[in-house]
Amino acid sequence: MVHSLPAYGSGVTVLTHDGSLAVAAASDVTSLALEELQFMLGAGPCVDAFSLRRPVLHDHVVAGAPSGWRGYG
């Protein structure tokens, strides 16, 4: 799927209602590290998507990320 999207990497994160966090899949080691970083910081697109119950999309995480993601970006 990564080949058909304009992306450098991809990750699938699973967050459950009981607060368990897990990386289900990652396209490479960099994507895996970024997914796991969200768990350590408690901030990032997957954390926001879970709490907001909707997709959270940003085309450039560093330049266009919300202020709450500073450590993640």
Predicted local confidence at residue 3, as pLDDT: 55
Q: What are phi and psi of 35, to 5 degrees?
A: -65, -45
Q: Is the pLDDT of residue 65 over 70?
A: no
Provide the β-strand partners of residue 21: 15
Provide the β-strand partners of residue 24: none
Top pLDDT among 1 and 73 is at 73
Q: How far apart are CA 58 and CA 36, in angstroms?
A: 18
Predicted local confidence at residue 25, as pLDDT: 93
Q: How far apart are CA 26 and CA 71, in angstroms?
A: 21
Predicted local confidence at residue 70, as pLDDT: 72
Residue 29 CB: number of other CB atoms within 10 A?
9
pLDDT digits (tens, 9 = 90+) for 22-55: 899 999 999 899 889 988 888 888 888 888 888 8
